[in-house]
Chain A
Amino acid sequence: MSNFLTLFQKEFREAWRGFKFLWMPLLFIFLGISDPITNYFMDDILAAVGNLPEGFSITLPELLPIDLLLASTGQFQSIGLIVLIATTAGTISRERQNGTATLLYVRPISFTALFMSKWVIASLLGIVSAVAGYIGSLYYTAILYGTVDAGAFVQMLATYCVWILFVTAITVMLSAMFKTTAVALVIATLLLPIGLMIDSAIGSYWTVAPWKLATYGVQFISGSTSEHYTMTLSITIVLTILAIMLGIVFSKKNAATTKI
């Protein structure tokens, strides 16, 4: 435990002094508020820059709060997720590559503590950013389109946090598994953001997959969610635990690859 606190303090100092707790939430807030605002002013935007032919008319759909939260989720799941993965994928492999890990690994440290310190800080960063982003999104949605049920919103947020925990566990695990950050980054991108795209394209053939979790979470806003929600949530949690265990094993196994 004391190992964990010591290592976590180091991770926290890195994130804090690198202003990660500032710019990542700001990015998510920007992503979160962009959909409610641009959709609301779509008429004016089209009129101002549209260059549309004479007599052209377009009927914009009547959007509900849930549509805007879904749109914001889509932003988080693409750009937000890629940025989170990119800042996390090197967390173990980079320290081995540049040799900073050596002075830690020669000590009697617990690799469980090492892995957990990395996973907790990445998750904290992801969760703080996602919550900030959703609150930003909800704020403009509430002003411009109407309010949503507070309980449902919290359920949606909690679900998204579970998804973030899964994402960071997978990414940190890959960082422990591969010698080069680039490989970890490519595989994490294929598994997560690209996985989401594949799921949204052909995902109608299955109902239970971690990639669907965020969408099921947003459905709480409409009053009731998919019957497959509980199963999806459970599978995501099991996979997260599995990723953590594998990650710890690989952190230890690959410790000798640190540059001396």
Chain B
Amino acid sequence: MITVRNLTKTFGEHTVVSDVSFTLEAHTSTALIGPNGAGKTTVLSMLTGLLAPTSGTVEMVGVKDMRTAIGFLPQYPQFFPWLTALEFTEMTAKLSGVTSKEAKKEAERVLAFVGLEEAMRKKTATFSGGMKQRLGIAQAIVHKPKVLLLDEPVSALDPIGRREMMNLLKELQQQTTILYSTHILNDAEEMTDQLLFLRKGILVEQGSLTDVRKKFDAPRYKIDFETEEEALQFASQSQLHATVIGASVSIEIIEDVPTMKQLMERLVASTFRVKKVERVTASLEEIFLEVAGR
């Protein structure tokens, strides 16, 4: 759908995005993750055409003017306070090439879709953060774009707003291709076909969630004890690569791998009061910290 080749952006001496290449397949969603200042917004701005890349290309198959095929939601969408949600969405539809006749109908449709049916005749000055974000989605999808670019779509929302937004995005996922940036990794875990890890403007990892996880997943056991002393005691006796956090012990599996069974037997033979034994896989957050910290 979209092919990005060697995208680079420098501001003066400062390189913000360096040699980034990836492709977005149709009807997939891709999460662009990375710490603050990694260049996520700059990458998205270049894809919207707002910012000209210093070098590199963005190509979209069969589309001459990419701006007609893209819907964009900035991190903090700003609306004209004197317009109502319906007027604003209708205007953006027309500016994206929807005919005047269709524009109002389409605007009403998308506003109902994002749940602003009641409020669409109210001025946006009165809107809450969550409503603004939903209006932001409405203006991004009103012209039925092939690709949706979302900059931190859920970061500024409270848990309820975040839940609503994620549900909206999941519905949209059926219809379009989505690229969104985020530093909230639970969200990325929930809705991602492809991961792009950006760090200091460089794409350090990319691949499917399973691939990336496999690469970084050092399997571990986690044992919860009743008390911290027991945890400490077990860790010192076990002669395993163990870390103690509170009353739980994490054992990284490296060379002399004890199986779960062996571990259990050892625990049963001892007098430790065990609450829970589990085998854990790395969360995206841990992968993120590892990639970001390298």
Contacts and interface: CB of A to CB of B under 8 A. Distances in A.
Interface of A: 2-3, 6-7, 9-10, 13-14, 17-18, 98-100, 102-109, 255-256, 258-260
A107 B74 contact: no
23 contacts: A3-B95, A6-B95, A7-B95, A9-B91, A10-B80, A99-B76, A99-B78, A100-B79, A100-B80, A103-B78, A103-B79, A103-B92, A106-B50, A106-B67, A106-B72, A107-B92, A108-B67, A108-B97, A255-B50, A256-B52, A258-B50, A260-B44, A260-B45
Nearest 3 pairs of A and B residues by beta carbon: A99-B78, A107-B95, A108-B67
A167 B70 CA distance: 38
Contacts, number: 72
Interface in B68-110: 68, 70, 72, 74-80, 82-83, 87, 91-92, 94-97, 100
Contacts of B78: 98-100, 102-103, 259
Given A10-B83, A260-B75, A106 B100 contact: no
Q: How big is chain B's contact interface, by range? A: 20 to 34
A100 B78 CA distance: 5
Interface string B186-216: 0000000000000000000000000000000
B26 interface: no
Contacts of A103: 72, 74, 77-79, 92, 139
Contacts of B45: 256, 260
A255 B48 CA distance: 12
A36 to B, nearest CB: 37
Interface string B134-163: 000001000000000001000000000000
Contact of B49 (A2, A7, A106, A259): A106
Contact of A106 (B70, B82, B94, B97): B70
A260 B91 contact: no
Given A108-B97, A259-B78, 14 more contacts: A2-B100, A10-B80, A14-B82, A17-B82, A99-B74, A102-B50, A103-B78, A106-B49, A108-B65, A108-B67, A108-B95, A108-B96, A256-B45, A260-B41
B65 A102 contact: no
B231 to A, nearest CB: 48
A218 to B, nearest CB: 37
Interface of B: 41, 44-45, 48-52, 65, 67-68, 70, 72, 74-80, 82-83, 87, 91-92, 94-97, 100, 139, 151
Nearest to A108: B67
B87 A105 contact: no
Contacts of B92: 103-104, 107
B125 to A, nearest CB: 11
Contacts of B74: 99, 102-103, 260
A212 B251 CA distance: 87
Given A99-B76, A103-B77, A109 B82 contact: no
A18 B95 contact: no
A164 B221 CA distance: 78
Contacts of B77: 99, 102-103
Given A2-B94, A260-B74, A105 B50 contact: yes
Nearest to B94: A6
Nearest to A9: B91
A18 B75 CA distance: 28
A14 B80 contact: yes
A98 B77 CA distance: 10
Contacts of B100: 2
Contacts of B50: 102, 105-106, 255-256, 258, 260
A255 B49 CA distance: 10
Q: Which residue, of A100, A106, A109, A258, has the highest number of chain B Cβ atoms within 10 A?
A: A106
A18 B51 CA distance: 32
A103 B132 CA distance: 13
A18 B94 contact: no
A105 to B, nearest CB: 6
A120 B138 CA distance: 30
A106 B51 contact: no
Given A103-B92, A107-B96, A13 B82 contact: yes
A111 to B, nearest CB: 12
A104 B82 contact: no
Given A13-B82, A106-B48, A256-B51, A6 B72 contact: no
A150 B82 CA distance: 40
A104 B190 CA distance: 31
Given A99-B76, A103-B139, A106-B48, A260 B95 contact: no
Contact of A260 (B49, B96, B151): B151
Contacts of A100: 78-80
Contacts of A106: 48-50, 67, 70, 72
Contacts of A255: 50
Contact of B91 (A6, A17, A256): A6
A107 B96 CA distance: 6
A17 to B, nearest CB: 5
